[in-house]
A and B are shown apart, each in its own frame.
Chain A
Amino acid sequence: MTMIPAFLAICFFVILTIPFVGVKYKGILVYLAIVVNAGLTGYLAIQALTGLPFETIFPGSAVTGAIALRLDALSAWFILIINFIFITGGFYGFFYMKAYQNQSKNLSLHGIAFLLLYSALISLTVIQNGMVFLIAWEIMALSAFVGVIFEHEKMATVKAGFNYLIQSHVSILFLMLGFMWAAYKTGSYDFQVLSNYTTGEKGAATVILFTTFFVGFAFKAGFVPFHTWLPYAHPAAPAHISGIMSGVMIKIGIFGILRMMLVIKPDFAIIGYIILVVSVISGLYGVMLAIVQHNLKRLLAYHSIENIGIIGMGIGLGSIGLGTGNLVLATLGFAAALLHVWNHALFKSLLFFTAGNVYQATHTLNIEQLGGLIKKMPQTAFLFLIAAIAISGLPPFNGFISEFILYSGLYHWLLDARLLSLVAIVFAILGLVMIGGLAMLCFTKAFGVVFLGNARQAFKHEVHEVSFQQLIPLYLIVFFIVAIGFFPGFFLKLLIEPVSLLAGNSGVAGIFEINTMQTMQQISWAAWGFIVLISVIFIVRKLVSRKRTIAVEPTWGCGYVKPTANMQYTASSFIRSYTKLFKPLLLSYKKEKNIQGIFPADGFFESHPYDKLEKWLIDTPIMEFKSFMSRFIFLQNGRLQFYILYGIIFIISIICIPIVYDMFIHLIGYFKQL
């Protein structure tokens, strides 16, 4: 009970003191506050995961009604993820921000925003009062906005920030609609009351209410077609903020969807199919666009959309399982979704942090200008490689485990499916397989071009590895990526409580025991066997080639002896056959001048990938709206007299309209009497 005041007190105290301490201590102070608060919330979360949920109700005010804080297993799972990513991300950010030591005021603001973002995210997982939830949501949106626009002297950063801010508020609009409708029907903002109300209510009303919430949360999570803010905001933010945004902030959207599922209990089968279709499309669309990006962080941002799609597929499967009474499917679906939430938080934050290292070392994120960094930054390259393998869903790392559970769910569903669901299954399997393959294409490109080969551009400054302290949190993340891959059973045990909660059935533990644990044991053996096999062959190779002559020569250029770095395969050429194949679905603006004639002048080629959906859903409507509104531009003529006239017309019409309306009604009544 004393923990919540302590949590808030620490938060307020640190926020108030940050502006007054020296620039060196700001970061330490924020980080300490986060560590202490993470300890407090982590303790409660672990208790909830072992089956002891925590509940407390504050009296609140006349406006909000009683404010209920409930920390159940679902909240606990997300709290642990948020804590972990903020502890590693904060540590990383502390060193990342050293380069900006001279911007003292900016750093204060950033520190406050960072702490507020953390507190808001934690609060969102436990607050069960619609009104207060919206306030916390707004705090989260605003503090993330402040975090994103740290480099506000750059125009692109501010633009990206506003794009994010506007879209966040569209998301809030939907949530507000949902909560208002709920409050209107139940007379209370409490989730529990809403839950009691919807239990009796079946059919269209709950589906529509849930869909409203789903759209609101989908903006935050980045489901297609609500994803367009992500690829702008992530590259613009400092690396630790992008890592945290992608790692945990968009997951709060997933949390919201799951929470609303628990509260509203809509018609699960219908909802499940909707989520499944949206998710498969999100996954495919995200990765398809990720491949064509030239900006490393933008590429990663599109991958977040892909992974949200994979998580959504798990939620969809779980929901269908609930709707059709297939408990195994529900278990596997929700387990895959929840595990992938953590997995994605791990490898995506790691990828953003390593991208931040690359940016610090080279001051660019354009992958066409990079290359050969593995020799300058071997540790960063190694960390990126692990994360790249994990995100492609390849064994023996964590991404494989969650995708495998998803596959098990799909193939389990296959066994007792009818025709319609079979079509859905084939669609989902095809989607998941393609997502995996495309992710591999994308990350072989990203890793191959950024870290391998020769440098494509000489930098004026020296490129070197970042300090070891900055790499410590990254190794901690890698530890978990590897641990989940090699001991999946242990981590799945943690999931039993949250999944039972979502499936609303205590039979889940039994299913875990029978169905999943044995398989996970085998996968664990296989992973270990694989490592042993690689080591044995590697040792044999070492022993055999010890006595042989090893020569080092230039790369074989098929007879050409003077290759330059410019002759390497570039990122664009690596994906050229892909872009040709997927042309109808992609959009790219090109500028080129071919080399022609006997005495050719310089030629050039530029391509700027763009998002087709963004063009259709955002740019075109805005353009149409603007051109429509430009017809009324004569009203804005700059003369004060006219503006006063508008005011008077407005006031008169406000007064007159009801009178005219009454007269009109009167007149109609009069005619009726005739």
Chain B
Amino acid sequence: MLSFILILIAGAFFTGIIIRTKSIASGRKGPGILQPINDVVRLFKKGAVYSRTTSFIFQMAPTIYFSSVVMAMMLIPFGQSKGLISFNGDFVFFAYVLALGKFFSIISAMDTGSSFEGMGASRESLYSLLAEPAFFILMGSFALLTGYTSFQEMFAALHLGSYISYAIAILATFVLVMIAMIENSRMPIDDPKTHLELTMIHEVMILDNSGFDLGLILSAGYLKFALYGAIIVNLFIGMVPYPYAIPLFFIIQFLLAIIIGLIESFIARFRMSHNPQFIFALTSVSLLIFFGVLLVLGKFI
């Protein structure tokens, strides 16, 4: 329950901080950090335009997409406190429920019968499938390291002791940040601020969404950032008591947002055709983590 509320709060600020960082880095004043929330609230108040081609899929999809993210949030623990739902292998459910949301966002893009939105749908489905293995191997490494298979037990038992385990934690953070970037279609993979539909992934899929639906999709994106941020926080807080852990949660989320803002300011988007290689390379990084864990446990030979 605690993590759910914390993620909601963090999600409210996360995207604002990224935008603010980007504007400062490019020498602009930039909007306030609550601007994304204002945008969503404004969208919630607006009417909507639907395409003539669309069917009930298009009406349902944003709701299911948003619900899938909220559902995933419920699975995230916070230190010793479990998520709202917690069971052995809950990370499988986590990944699959997010995939369900993606399934619907893809078919809703196909529902418009547009020549552009199919493009985004095609890319989204390919990239998300390539990113999945990295997450599962990463979780497998943690399961191997700690001997548990649920989020909360794994994170609670994660003791950072030796140098190798620090290396593992840093690599894991890297993998998770990159998965978050892919899931949210952010910079090295996709440029949310690009002006050309041909080079978009996520933005081009939601060209026809408007009003309440668009608000849902945007807020789902904000929450997704905080969601992955929360997993990263969990890597570090372990059994730290609440009075320290809660400020630590916000500090790490804040740092993460700034890092993402900096990445977006100083790195150019990859060529579309290079994205798959890059994404799949994440799997090899997580395999590296896996072998690191084997080293720690002395399971080689």
B89 in the interface (beta carbon within 8 A): yes
B103-126 near A? 1/0 per residue, CB < 8 Å: 100110011111111110111011
Closest chain-A Cβ to B299's Cβ sits at a distance in Å of 6
Assess the B57–A374 pair: CB atoms within 8 A. yes
- Chain A contacts for B50, CB-based, 8 A: 550-553
Assess the B47–A545 pair: CB atoms within 8 A. yes
Assess the A412–B149 pair: CB atoms within 8 A. yes
Please pick, from A418, A522, A544, the residue contacting B299 in the complex, using a CB distance under 8 A.
A418
- Chain B contacts for A506, CB-based, 8 A: none
- Chain A contacts for B97, CB-based, 8 A: 394-395, 526, 530
Closest chain-B Cβ to A550's Cβ sits at a distance in Å of 6
Assess the A541–B63 pair: CB atoms within 8 A. yes
Give complex CA distance A522, B289 in Å: 30
- Chain B contacts for A197, CB-based, 8 A: none
- Chain A contacts for B99, CB-based, 8 A: 392, 394, 436-437, 440
Assess the A578–B126 pair: CB atoms within 8 A. yes
Closest chain-A Cβ to B62's Cβ sits at a distance in Å of 8
Given contacts A440-B102, A440-B125, contact A523 B115 (CB under 8 A): no
Assess the B299–A552 pair: CB atoms within 8 A. no
Assess the B140–A544 pair: CB atoms within 8 A. no
Assess the B276–A433 pair: CB atoms within 8 A. no
Q: Which residue numbers of A lie inside 8 Å of B, CB to CB?
A: 371-372, 374-375, 378, 381, 385, 389, 392-395, 400, 403-404, 407-408, 411-412, 414-415, 418-419, 422, 425-426, 429-430, 433-434, 436-438, 440-441, 443-445, 447-449, 452-454, 515, 518-519, 522-523, 525-526, 529-530, 533-534, 537-538, 541, 544-545, 548-558, 563, 565, 567-569, 573-578, 580-581
Assess the B113–A453 pair: CB atoms within 8 A. yes
Assess the A448–B93 pair: CB atoms within 8 A. no
B1 in the interface (beta carbon within 8 A): no
Chain B interface residue count, CB cutoff 8 Å, equals 83
Give complex CA distance A385, B68 in Å: 17
- Within 9-50 of B, Cβ neighbours of A (below 8 Å) are at 44-50
B207 in the interface (beta carbon within 8 A): yes
- Chain B contacts for A408, CB-based, 8 A: 88-89, 92, 149
Please pick, from B55, B70, B122, B149, the residue contacting A452 in the complex, using a CB distance under 8 A.
B55
B211 in the interface (beta carbon within 8 A): yes
Assess the B85–A529 pair: CB atoms within 8 A. yes
Q: Look across to chain B and name the residue whose beta carbon is closest to the beta carbon of A447.
A: B107
A-B pairs, top 9 by smallest CB distance, nearest first, are: A569-B118, A437-B129, A448-B110, A453-B113, A548-B47, A522-B87, A549-B47, A555-B51, A394-B100
Please pick, from B47, B88, B103, B122, the residue contacting A577 in the complex, using a CB distance under 8 A.
B122
B283 in the interface (beta carbon within 8 A): yes
Assess the B140–A575 pair: CB atoms within 8 A. no
Give complex CA distance A106, B144 in Å: 60
Closest chain-A Cβ to B155's Cβ sits at a distance in Å of 16
Please pick, from A415, A518, A522, A533, the residue contacting B143 in the complex, using a CB distance under 8 A.
A415
Assess the B212–A555 pair: CB atoms within 8 A. no
Given contacts A419-B299, A522-B87, contact A444 B114 (CB under 8 A): no
Q: A444-B106, A577-B123 are in contact. List 6 more A-B contacts (CB 8 A).
A: A400-B96, A449-B110, A519-B87, A552-B52, A569-B110, A575-B122
Assess the B52–A553 pair: CB atoms within 8 A. yes
- Chain A contacts for B71, CB-based, 8 A: 526, 529-530, 533
Assess the A553–B89 pair: CB atoms within 8 A. no
Assess the B114–A557 pair: CB atoms within 8 A. yes
Closest chain-B Cβ to A82's Cβ sits at a distance in Å of 29
Please pick, from B102, B136, B149, B207, the residue contacting A429 in the complex, using a CB distance under 8 A.
B136
Assess the A426–B89 pair: CB atoms within 8 A. no
Q: Is the interface of A mostly helix, strand, loop or mixed?
A: helix
Given contacts A433-B136, A441-B125, A452-B55, contact A393 B96 (CB under 8 A): yes
Interface centre among A393, A404, A436, A573 (most CB of B within 10 A): A436
Q: Which residue numbers of B lie inside 8 Å of A, CB to CB?
A: 44-57, 60, 63-64, 66-68, 70-71, 74, 85-90, 92-93, 96-97, 99-100, 102-103, 106-107, 110-119, 121-123, 125-126, 128-130, 132-133, 136-137, 140, 143-144, 147, 149, 197, 207-208, 211-213, 216, 272-273, 276, 283, 287, 290, 294, 299-301
- Chain B contacts for A448, CB-based, 8 A: 106-107, 110-111, 118, 121
Give complex CA distance A426, B140 in Å: 8
Closest chain-A Cβ to B204's Cβ sits at a distance in Å of 9
Please pick, from A372, A419, A549, A553, the residue contacting B301 in the complex, using a CB distance under 8 A.
A419
What would 25 A/B residue contacts be, using CB atoms closer than 8 Å? A372-B113, A378-B55, A381-B55, A394-B99, A408-B88, A408-B89, A408-B92, A411-B89, A414-B143, A414-B144, A419-B299, A422-B299, A426-B137, A429-B136, A430-B137, A437-B99, A441-B129, A448-B111, A449-B110, A453-B113, A522-B87, A552-B51, A555-B112, A568-B115, A577-B276
Give complex CA distance A430, B113 in Å: 34
Assess the B53–A454 pair: CB atoms within 8 A. yes
- Chain B contacts for A523, CB-based, 8 A: 87, 93
Given contacts A444-B110, A550-B50, A569-B121, contact A407 B89 (CB under 8 A): yes
- Chain A contacts for B294, CB-based, 8 A: 419, 422
Please pick, from A411, A441, A526, the residue contacting B85 in the complex, using a CB distance under 8 A.
A526
- Chain A contacts for B106, CB-based, 8 A: 444, 448
Give complex CA distance A234, B112 in Å: 31
- Chain A contacts for B208, CB-based, 8 A: 555-556
- Chain B contacts for A412, CB-based, 8 A: 149
Closest chain-A Cβ to B140's Cβ sits at a distance in Å of 6
Please pick, from B51, B96, B290, the residue contacting A395 in the complex, using a CB distance under 8 A.
B96
- Chain A contacts for B48, CB-based, 8 A: 545, 548, 550-551
